[in-house]
């Protein structure tokens, strides 16, 4: 099979860290990139999970639970507009 060159741009620090990691596995950058490409082709997908959002951490989950409690609590004053809130705050 004939070889073809592939030129990619990556920042220097990323390249250095990737080389360090791949060396620990006994791999070159070329071998690692080839492994990625061949796996993607074989599996017909990106061979790792892509996510747009991270799972909320415990602090965020607690804030969401608190917001839910406040929204359901009739004793908590709500506001229908930003102007009404500003007036209540004296701003």
Q: Is residue 81 one of the residues assigned to a domain?
A: yes
Q: Quick one: which of 1, 83, 79 has its CA closest to 38?
A: 1
The tens digit of pLDDT for each residue in 52-66 reads 677 888 999 999 999
> What is the reported pTM?
0.54
Q: How many domains does the chain have?
A: 1
- Name the residue range of residue 83's domain: 58-89
Q: Is residue 40 one of the residues assigned to a domain?
A: no
Cα atoms in the 13 Å half-sphere on the side-chain side of 1: 2
The tens digit of pLDDT for each residue in 13-43 reads 999 999 999 999 999 999 999 999 999 999 9
Q: Is residue 67 one of the residues assigned to a domain?
A: yes
Q: Is residue 26 one of the residues assigned to a domain?
A: no
Q: Is residue 83 one of the residues assigned to a domain?
A: yes
């Amino acid at each position: 099979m004939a070889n073809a060159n592939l030129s990619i741009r990556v920042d220097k620090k990323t390249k250095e860290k990737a080389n360090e990691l791949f060396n620990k596995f006994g791999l070159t950058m070329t071998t690692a990139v080839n492994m990625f490409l061949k796996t993607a082709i074989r599996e017909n997908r990106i061979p790792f999970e892509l996510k747009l959002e991270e799972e909320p951490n415990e602090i965020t989950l607690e804030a969401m639970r608190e917001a839910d409690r406040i929204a359901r609590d009739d004793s908590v004053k709500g506001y229908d507009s930003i102007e009404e809130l500003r007036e209540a705050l004296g701003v």
